[in-house]
Amino acid sequence: MSDEPNKGLQSPLRRQLLMGAAALPLISMLPRPSFGAGPATSVVNTTGLAVTDTEVTVGILHSATGTMAISETGSIQAEKLAIEQINAAGGVLGRKIKFIQEDGASDWPTFAEKAKKLLVNDKVAAIMGCWTSASRKAVLPVVEQYNGMLYYPTFYEGLEQSKNVIYTGQEATQQILAGLNWIAKEKGAKSFFFIGSDYIWPRTSNKIARKHVENVLKGKVVGEEYYALGSTQFNSVINKIKLTKPDVIFTDVVGGSNVAFYKQLKAAGVDLSKQALLTISVTEDEIDGIGGENIAGAYACMKYFQSLDNANNKAFVPAFKKLWGEKTVIGDVTQAGYLGPWLWKLTCEKAGSFDVDKIAAASPGIEFKEAPEGYVRIHENHHLWSKTRVGRAKLDGQFELIFETADLIEPDPFPKGYQ
């Protein structure tokens, strides 16, 4: 909030003042005189976005308060780091990125309202934001109506595609299928027990997983259970798991329930070094709350782990820790959040413009070679080509990379045969 300029002056007056005033006197006040050397504003901004000769404004829209703050804090941190780094490297089209941060407060109508405020009042060139599918579904009609650009970082259930959204996380088939193939091959797994939180993402993901297990892997789903968000008691379902003795427990439990589930699983004597468990909802962030000792041995299916051993990641992790503290951990979604501002910058430079229509058209084919996960490319359907990786949780809360697909997996938000 404190990043919001001139809070006292509202709407049109403020905008005029900003636009007019920024051109001349601000240049002398800027700490970095290098900004302002890009192409003329009238060329790169034909739709009245908040772009001056020296600055361009983007929005950050996440929950800094409320129940989702646990998860979204990492995304906010990653996006701020990316913006800082881009500015240090000369900005976008010769302009410094300035951001306005709004709080979605874990409330979906608030997300829609704040998105509208960012697009209509602040005229931001792009929004980095949303986390849950519910918040994205609330914001989607707003960015489509007012023609904004949203960079969405979370792995999600798919079944969506928009000109106005770039999905920097995995859609469901990218996240799940390769992981299931791997565990079926590696562990000879034939029977699966699904347990998830009761909302759209786990249900859609499990539907896809079930089709894959039954039709492709010729295995069997011996149980499929959902618990309301926030449930803290899992002893009954753990007994069911013990009774059905599945080869693999496949989980997409989220939030506080996640912590309860793994603590009780451990307490019930289920040894994850013997019982294979594959999760698509636990990253390094979640392990912070669960405790490494409760989940060590479990497999997670992600595209990024903090422990990845490549040159990009070796630069990214120390930079992140330097800005946000030695103890912070970086999970899959945090990394995907970091991609957003960079992909936007690269797209702007390819398009030679901040105009949303040009950005949307120029996005397919954009490559980001410095991505901490290795390399990503934007597909025609505005999702990313990326690898699927399986990691094994260790006592210290980090993952050890066990498997990664040889090639980038093509995003397929509307998978045929899985509906």
Partner 1 sequence: MFGDYSIGDLGSIFVMQGFAGLILFSVYVLMALGLAIIFGQMGVINMAHGEFMILGAYVTWMTSNLFQSYLPGLFSGYFFLAMILAFLASGALGMLVEWVLIRHLYKRPLDTLLATWGLSLMLQQAYRSIFGAREVGVELPQWMLGSLKVTDSIEVPINGVFVMGLTVLITIVVAYVMYKSRWGRQVRAVVQNRIMAGAVGINTAKVDRLTFALGCGIAGVAGSAFTMIGSTGPTSGQLYIVDTFLVVVFGGAASLLGTIASAFSISQTQSTLEFFTSGSMAKVLTLLAVVGILMLRPQGLFALKVRK
Tokens at 7, concatenated? 């809070």
Rounded distance between C-alpha atoms, residue 294 and residue 64, angstroms: 28
Applying CB under 8 A, the site for partner 1 has a residue count of 47
Q: Which of 9, 37, 268, 315 binds partner 1 (CB under 8 A)?
A: 268
Q: Which is nearer to partner 1, 125 or 290 (CB)?
A: 290
Rounded distance between C-alpha atoms, residue 293 and residue 388, angstroms: 25
Least Å distance, CB 60 to partner 1, is 15
Euclidean distance between the first and final Cα of the chain, in Å?
42
Phi/psi region, residue 188 (left: phi>0; alpha: psi -120 to 50; beta: rest), is: left
Q: Which is nearer to partner 1, 242 or 322 (CB)?
A: 242
395 binds partner 1 per the rule CB under 8 A? no
Least Å distance, CB 312 to partner 1, is 25
Residues in the chain: 419
Least Å distance, CB 202 to partner 1, is 11
- 102 strand-pairing partners: 61
73 binds partner 1 per the rule CB under 8 A? yes
Name the helix (H) or strand (E) containing 134.
Answer: helix 133-145
Contact (CB, 8 A) for 180 and 212? yes
134 binds partner 1 per the rule CB under 8 A? no
Q: Closest Cα partner for 288 from 309, 269, 306, 265?
A: 306
Binding mask of the shown chain, residues 281 to 300, with x at each position contacting partner 1 by CB under 8 A: ----xxxxxxxxxx------
Q: What is the DSSP letter of 291?
A: -
Contact (CB, 8 A) for 198 and 219? no
Q: Which is nearer to partner 1, 251 or 353 (CB)?
A: 251
Binding mask of the shown chain, residues 48 to 67, with x at each position contacting partner 1 by CB under 8 A: ----------------xxxx
Q: Which is nearer to partner 1, 57 or 75 (CB)?
A: 75
Residues 211-230 close enough to bind partner 1 by CB under 8 A: 224-228, 230
Q: Which is nearer to partner 1, 141 or 289 (CB)?
A: 289
Q: Which is nearer to partner 1, 62 or 382 (CB)?
A: 62
Rounded distance between C-alpha atoms, residue 119 and residue 113, angstroms: 10
Footprint on this chain of partner 1 (rule: CB under 8 A): 64-67, 69-70, 73, 198, 224-228, 230-233, 235-240, 242-243, 255-260, 263-264, 266-269, 285-294
